[in-house]
Chains A and B, each alone.
Chain A
């Protein structure tokens, strides 16, 4: 069992790499499946020193709901940001830095949250605090920075808490 853990340190990553390789080659043959599986074994094994802890998820099925929510938000926010860019004069726009205190502690969950913040237009995550307890977010147009902070915590962080912790 211990040997298996050392040979396959990240089973989920192994599965994802195999699926990714089969999708990339776009041929449904045993060849690509076997080669994908070899990559799925080799890459996690070689990168093991950089990712020592195994990732744990409490409710992996909620990821699908989270992805749909983020896609919906991206579409809505794109339109909002496009209107700001085209119609709002620079003098009336108020860019702001916002510090978002984090309740999440899992490194993978914080990474997903930072990525989500960057991909939803209007906000970009710029930095994490020294001990990893806060995110620095830049807003394109925020007259009320506190509202941005609360919406990030309410909408994304709470859901990631359910998935990861």
Chain B
């Protein structure tokens, strides 16, 4: 019975290793900055997810205790990863894109990064 769980843990670890490797490989192989941004989002989802699943199964079967820290790590990753990705994307928009190189938003005049807000004149 213990053997099955060990294979399961090993399987999760190998899966996370493979996806982590593919993520880093993509960082080297992809040829434009925005595409490179896609690689780290993959490493954090299934790459880290696999390690956390393996850790949870290990805690449940081998150590016999329920550990909920893995759930918290997943939660914090899912909260923070989109924010960092958004910051990097914003820098790219500032430095390498113009209003004309992007598709126009449906109703609005422009994207937030390229919108210049005129300073309001001071009312006396």
Bound-state Cα–Cα, A110 to B41, Å: 19
| A38 close to B (CB within 8 Å) | no
- Count residues of chain A with CB under 8 A from any CB of chain B: 38
Q: Which of A118, A126, A140 contacts B92 (CB 8 A)?
A: A126
Q: Does A163 contact B (CB under 8 A)?
A: no
**Hey, which chain B residues are within 8 Å of A99, CB to CB?**
102-106
Residues of chain A contacted by B22 (CB below 8 angstroms): 82, 85-86
Query: Does A26 sit within 8 A of B, measured CB to CB?
Result: yes
Q: Which residues of A contact B92 (CB under 8 A)?
A: 126
Interface string of A75-87 (1 = CB under 8 A from B): 1001001100110
By a CB distance below 8 angstroms, the chain A residues around B39 are 85
B38 and A122 contact, CB distance less than 8 A? yes
Q: What residues on A are CB-neighbors of B107 within 8 Å?
A: 101, 129, 131, 133-134
User: Residues of A with Cβ closer than 8 Å to B?
Assistant: 20, 23-24, 26, 74-75, 78, 81-82, 85-86, 90, 93, 95, 97-99, 101, 114-115, 118-119, 121-122, 124-134, 136, 138, 140
What are 11 A-B pairs at a CB distance below 8 A? A78-B42, A82-B42, A90-B31, A114-B82, A115-B82, A127-B111, A128-B111, A128-B112, A130-B108, A134-B106, A138-B89
